[in-house]
Structure 1
């Protein structure tokens, strides 16, 4: 198994873990069932960890959406089989443009699953739905350089191999290390570099070589004028528990090439963001995030399953974090939980 294959396999693992928690009632997700086959119940510690992850990311995203309303863009890097676009739609929340990016081998599978599922397609477009090949609406090849978003009428969906394009939703298959292709594909999605834009990564940057992730984050900071970043990944990886986590991942074929940025909250903020051009950053381990989540919902969640290994849960939460970073005016005052 190649390094990239091992990274891509983590998508299936994460999707199964999220489905396990959803099945147990930790949070509602009506769409994740369409991206998994079979059901494998995970331990209460894993379910609670994914609850904190999902709710924590949502908490910071809500801060962004309250600031911007619908006049914003969301770009989900290394999105895998994430269902956030459908969950937002289901909650009545729309944004100008929602873009998912992952390896083409992952996005092609996601496009296939969407194409064959009426519910997923109808959520993307409530009106006429059309899946097409590499031709435009009249049957001719689209002119080079014209953004895909400009050739759409209301309600049309276009699937081209590993890419999907709709008026407000795009899936693009590309390698985040290839910034030239990333720039080209984002332009095809009708991206607006001046509109407030939120980037989301969940255990993505840590799999990239430090030089590659730094180049990506530097490119984003230079290209976009008003940006907010939510990064969920490992932290405190230089202690005994962190080293055990690293060994387990290596045994599964996953090398954390960017682990040096995950040694502490300070490295998360400085090594990841500040030194490559972002205005500022803040980071919290998941124990802090967990304790800040609404108490009533935490109490409901904690009654779902008995927890035998409280210490294990605490160790897991201590070794993951959410780091936020920003550049521009929209999120400049969001520096606290």
Structure 2
């Protein structure tokens, strides 16, 4: 779902798109490694690997595994808190994940909810990405019973096989630079031809409502997306979300983002050179020179309500419960602690609460310090 950069030839653009999609493969391999070692409970993530990747799993160094755990813990916590806070007041909510790639958070959190005997409070979980990415994911989801069974009922293949929809989950191809088209695909009924499949039913499938409702509280999730997007496009996207769900009669919601920042130092220069060797650029990096610039971007876009950001190092050292920190630190020995801290200080989890009415409070999320007994 990461956009094409304007002003380039079709060949250059296609190569750039492929390079950006390759970053999702990197993230998937990292999640699978972290899950296999016990950092994460994400048993279905391996279903999105290619057969060759499953036969020859890659091992990530402890530095990567610890970072994957901390960012995932923080993001999961915010998503769970968002859904739970609305459940407490009897309202269902929605999640919109842009640039989702092979992310398996929907299935991971559904599994956790079932194991804890809690009701799933997400009326619809919607993911958007490049057509090439959504087509591949749609095929995998439709072909794996473990994934299909979590979707809440029959599924429909849509957008010529580049997407699918079900009562609880939808997957759509899209480009965040084309906000009119994106908005229409998310908020209007689908008019594309579709076919249906189900692991448990062959009965006629009723027409589904639009993927999202502007009247339900909605969480916008952006994980390492905006750094690949020109700042003007990022600002337009965030303003669209704030306008759509922050209107007086809208449902409100929240934004959760994971981004690198402060890349104008030596660490950032090395990082950008390494990415350039893979055909990747970071057009969004200049817009986030500091930790404070991350929540400030949300405020400029019209997000009314508490905002904040914490580095992933801060998440590890202050937000993880003591038992969880001790558990993950015991999985592998890490010698390069200074390098770990340097990397984690350049990434942050940001959140913002969107209030549809001035002065409205309640159902607000944010990362807080863990309470350690005896500390």
TM-score bucket of the superposed structures, by smaller chain: 0.7 to 0.9
Separation in 1 of the partners of 2:279 and 2:63?
23
Change (3 A) 1:227 1:32: same
Give 1:333 shift: 5.0
Give 1:43 shift: 0.3
Residue in structure 1 matched with residue 267 of structure 2 by the alignment: 241
Give the counterpart of 1:277 among 281, 294, 302.
Answer: 302
Separation in 1 of the partners of 2:341 and 2:108?
29
Give 1:94 shift: 3.7
* Deviations 1:174-220 (CA, angstroms, capped at 9, x unpaired): 11111111111112334111211111111001100111111111111
Decide whether the 8 Å contact of 1:74 with 1:99 is kept in 2: yes
CA RMSD of aligned residues (A): 1.6
* Deviations 1:155-176 (CA, angstroms, capped at 9, x unpaired): 2100121111101110001111
Residue in structure 2 matched with residue 172 of structure 1 by the alignment: 172
Greater shift in the superposed pair: 246-255 or 297-306 = 246-255
Residue in structure 2 matched with residue 224 of structure 1 by the alignment: 245
Give the counterpart of 1:12 among 25, 36, 47.
Answer: 25
Residue in structure 2 matched with residue 68 of structure 1 by the alignment: 86
Residue in structure 1 matched with residue 229 of structure 2 by the alignment: 208
Separation in 2 of the partners of 1:103 and 1:313?
31
Residue in structure 2 matched with residue 157 of structure 1 by the alignment: 155
Residue in structure 1 matched with residue 138 of structure 2 by the alignment: 111
SS in 2 for 1:175: coil
* Deviations 1:93-134 (CA, angstroms, capped at 9, x unpaired): 341111001111100000011122121112224xxxxxxxxx
Change (3 A) 1:108 1:20: same
Gaps of 5+ in 2: 1-13, 114-119, 190-209, 247-251, 369-375
Whether 1:261 and 2:287 are equivalent positions in the alignment is: yes
SS in 2 for 1:273: helix
* Deviations 1:207-259 (CA, angstroms, capped at 9, x unpaired): 00111111111111111130201100102212111221121111111111100
TM-score by length of 1: 0.87
Change (3 A) 1:179 1:330: farther
Separation in 1 of the partners of 2:58 and 2:302?
42
Give 1:78 shift: 0.5
Decide whether the 8 Å contact of 2:219 with 2:255 is kept in 1: yes
Separation in 2 of the partners of 1:277 and 1:206?
20
Decide whether the 8 Å contact of 1:196 with 1:330 is kept in 2: no
Residue in structure 2 matched with residue 85 of structure 1 by the alignment: 106
Residue in structure 2 matched with residue 128 of structure 1 by the alignment: none
Decide whether the 8 Å contact of 1:74 with 1:197 is kept in 2: yes
Residue in structure 1 matched with residue 350 of structure 2 by the alignment: 323
| Map 1:41-60 → 2, pairs under 5 A | 41-60=59-78
Change (3 A) 1:251 1:95: same
Change (3 A) 1:67 1:31: same
Greater shift in the superposed pair: 291-300 or 46-55 = 291-300
Gaps of 5+ in 1: 126-154
Give 1:330 shift: 5.7
SS in 2 for 1:66: helix
SS in 1 for 2:154: coil
Change (3 A) 1:115 1:261: same
Give 1:66 shift: 2.4
Decide whether the 8 Å contact of 1:64 with 1:331 is kept in 2: no
SS in 2 for 1:74: strand
Separation in 2 of the partners of 1:17 and 1:267?
28
Residue in structure 2 matched with residue 21 of structure 1 by the alignment: 34
